[in-house]
Amino acid sequence: MRTRYLIAIVIAGIILTVMSAISFFERPKIGDAAPPFELKDASGAAWSLESFRGRTVLLHFWATWCGTCLSELPALESAYRELGGGSVAIVTILTDDEGRSLSALKGRTPISFPVLLDMDGTVSDAYEVWGVPVSFLIDVNGVIVGRTSSPLTYNSLMSLLQIPLTRP
């Protein structure tokens, strides 16, 4: 009886490992269509990826508890002020606290770029975001053309945006 129990546990472990590996390799990759989403910002306004079609989108996932994420905010703000109204959309997705800390943060740090709230993790799951910060560059056709989990500075952000932004 004990042997059967151990065999069942080993088989279950193998199945879970295989399923995790398959999920890892199925995550959105460069060249894949960006998963669609619709989220609200702290004011309750709805935003969708489709609303940015025809523009290059920097989609940045972050959290208010993440020190690296907070250090990226000035670079994101500068880039947004410089590029946000043109052919590049800078959109951020906050993965924590329903915007409560965001209100306090906005009092100390200028944030004029869209901050969308992913409180149930649906969009983070669709993009396979397991840690923050992580950024995706999505071209005008909705295709992922870049991904980075490196901390963003103004220079690295501008360099990332130099990836070819349209597909032939």
What is the percent of the chain with per-residue pLDDT over 90, rounded to a whole number?
Answer: 59
Mean pLDDT of 112-132: 94
Q: How confident is the model at residue 42 (pLDDT cuts 50, 70, 90)?
A: confident
Within-domain flag for 167: no
Answer yes or no: is pLDDT of 164 > 70: no
Residue 18 included in any domain: no
For residue 146, what is the domain's CATH number?
Answer: 3.40.30.10
Q: Of the segments 6-10, 11-15, 79-83, 125-129, which one has the largest average pLDDT value?
A: 125-129
In a domain, 166, yes or no: no
Note the pLDDT of residue 163: 46
Asked whether residue 131 is assigned to any structural domain, the reply reads: yes
Residue of higher predicted confidence among 14 and 153: 153
Domain membership flag for residue 14: no
Between 117 and 19, the more confident residue is 117
User: Do the domain assignments include residue 20?
Assistant: no
Range of the domain at 91: 30-160
- What's the rounded Cα separation, in Å, for the pair 111 and 94? 13
pLDDT at 166: 42
Report how far residue 99's alpha carbon sits from residue 43's, in angstroms, rounded to the nearest whole number: 9
Q: What is the mean pLDDT of residues 40-63?
A: 94
Give the pLDDT of residue 102: 83
Which pair of structure tokens corresponds to residue 123?
Answer: 């969009």
Number of domains in the chain: 1
d(CA 167, CA 143): 9
User: Ramachandran region of residue 141, left (φ > 0), alpha (ψ -120 to 50) or beta?
Assistant: alpha
State the average pLDDT over residues 5-25: 67
Residue 6, in any domain of the structure: no
Q: Which residue has the higher pLDDT, 44 or 15?
A: 44
Q: pLDDT at residue 18 above 70?
A: no
**165 lies in some domain:** no
